[in-house]
C-alpha cells in the first residue's frame, strides 16, 4: 500500500503541476463579462473547467479505475461525506481554490487534490499557483512544503495565536452565527486573517503560520487535501461536533492540538449562548 500511495501522490503532483501551469498562463486574461456566478460571490469560468479537465485527464491516465469528485465536473457530490464516497480510489479535486482571488490577480489561489482509498485519506497535494510552492502529504509519511518537513506550531495560549478563517459569502443565512463566532475569536486570539483559499489556509496551519482555522461551510474539495496535510503535520481537523469526517459540506475546525481544543470549545460555547442559533 505504501508503494501505491507514493504512486497516487506522484500522479496527483503531476496533475496539480499541469493545472497550475495552465492557470499561471491564464491569470488576468478574462474580462468580468466572462465570469459566471454559480451563486452569490461564487464565480466559475472556462479556466476552472479546463483546469479540472486537465487534472481528470492526468489522473485517469495514471489510474483508470479511480472515481473523480470535482467542483466543476461533478457538483452533485457537494453534499457528500467521506462515508458516502465510492469505495476504492476516489480523487477529490478543486481545480482552482480561490477563484475570486484568481480573477482579481490576488496571488492566493491553489490547485487541491486529495486521494482517498476506501474513504481513507492516503495522499494529498496543494499547489500554490502564484508561488509555485507545493504542499503534499502521505498517510503515515508526514507533510511537506516542497522538501521541508511541516509541523504545526507550538503556540498554546490563545492570546498569542493567529487564527485563519473564511467568510460565508455563499451562505448569507450563516452570517449572524458567524459574526458571533468572529467576535468571540477576535476578542480572545492574537489576530485573525482571511486570505480566501481554504486549501492554503489549512497548509498554513500545517506549516505553523496559522495556529488554528475555522470556517462554517466548506465543500469536500475544499478540505480533502488540506485535512491530510494538517494531520500529518501533527494537527487536528474536525467538524464543530468534533467529528473526524470533514469531507462534506459543512463547518471545519483545524489547528495544533492546544489551539484546536480551545477554538472548538469557544465556537461551541458561542453557539450555545447566542440567541441567533
Tell me the pLDDT band of 39, cut-offs 50, 70 and 90.
very low
| Mean pLDDT of the region 34-57 | 72
| Mean pLDDT of the region 23-38 | 71
Q: H helices within 76-145, ranges in order?
A: 99-103
User: Would you state the pLDDT for residue 40?
Assistant: 44
**Number of alpha helices (DSSP H) and beta strands (DSSP E) in the chain:** 7, 14
Sole residue written with cell 457538483: 75
Tell me the pLDDT band of 29, cut-offs 50, 70 and 90.
confident
Tell me the pLDDT band of 244, cut-offs 50, 70 and 90.
very high
User: Would you state the pLDDT for residue 167?
Assistant: 92
User: Would you state the pLDDT for residue 42?
Assistant: 44
Asked whether the beta carbons of 236 and 255 are under 8 A apart, the reply is yes
Which of the listed CATH numbers 3.40.1390.30, 3.40.50.300, 3.40.190.80, 1.10.10.10 matches domain 158-273?
3.40.190.80
Q: CA 239, CA 247: separation in Å to the nearest integer?
A: 10
User: Would you state the pLDDT for residue 73?
Assistant: 61
Where along the chain do the CATH 3.30.540.10 domains lie? 2-149
| Mean pLDDT of the region 149-173 | 93
Q: Which CATH superfamily is domain 2-149 in?
A: Fructose-1,6-Bisphosphatase, subunit A, domain 1 (3.30.540.10)
Q: What is the dihedral of CA 149, 154, 160, 161, to 10 degrees?
A: 50
Where along the chain do the CATH 3.40.190.80 domains lie? 158-273
Q: What is the DSSP letter of 150?
A: P
| Mean pLDDT of the region 118-131 | 96
Query: Nearest 5°: phi and psi at 167?
Result: -85, 145
Q: Is the pLDDT of residue 3 over 90?
A: no
Over the chain, what is the mean pLDDT?
90
Q: CA 132, CA 238: separation in Å to the nearest integer?
A: 28
Amino acid at each position: 500500500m505504501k508503494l501505491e500511495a507514493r504512486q497516487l501522490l506522484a500522479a496527483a503532483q503531476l496533475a496539480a503541476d499541469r493545472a497550475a501551469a495552465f492557470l499561471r498562463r491564464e491569470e488576468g486574461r478574462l474580462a468580468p463579462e466572462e465570469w459566471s456566478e454559480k451563486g452569490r460571490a461564487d464565480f466559475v469560468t472556462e479556466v476552472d473547467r479546463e483546469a479540472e479537465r486537465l487534472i481528470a485527464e492526468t489522473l485517469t491516465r495514471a489510474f483508470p479505475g479511480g472515481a473523480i469528485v470535482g467542483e466543476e465536473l461533478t457538483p452533485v457530490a457537494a453534499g457528500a461525506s467521506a462515508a458516502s464516497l465510492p469505495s476504492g480510489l476516489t480523487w477529490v479535486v478543486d481545480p482552482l481554490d480561490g477563484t475570486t482571488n484568481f480573477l482579481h490577480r490576488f496571488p492566493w489561489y491553489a490547485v487541491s487534490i486529495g486521494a482517498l482509498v476506501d474513504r481513507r485519506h492516503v495522499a494529498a497535494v496543494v499547489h500554490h499557483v502564484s508561488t509555485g510552492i507545493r504542499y503534499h502529504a502521505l498517510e503515515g509519511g508526514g507533510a511537506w512544503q516542497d522538501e521541508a518537513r511541516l509541523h504545526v506550531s507550538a503556540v498554546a495560549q490563545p492570546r498569542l495565536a493567529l487564527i485563519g478563517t473564511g467568510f460565508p459569502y455563499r451562505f448569507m443565512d450563516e452570517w449572524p452565527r458567524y459574526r458571533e463566532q468572529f467576535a468571540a475569536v477576535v476578542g480572545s486570539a492574537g489576530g485573525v486573517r482571511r486570505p480566501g483559499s481554504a486549501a492554503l489556509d489549512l497548509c498554513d496551519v500545517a506549516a505553523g503560520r496559522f495556529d488554528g482555522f475555522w470556517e462554517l461551510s466548506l465543500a469536500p474539495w475544499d478540505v480533502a487535501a488540506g485535512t491530510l496535510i494538517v494531520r500529518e503535520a501533527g494537527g487536528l481537523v474536525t467538524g464543530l461536533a468534533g467529528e473526524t469526517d470533514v469531507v462534506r459540506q459543512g463547518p471545519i475546525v483545524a489547528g495544533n492540538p492546544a489551539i484546536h481544543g480551545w477554538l472548538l470549545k469557544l465556537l461551541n460555547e458561542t453557539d450555545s449562548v447566542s440567541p441567533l442559533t
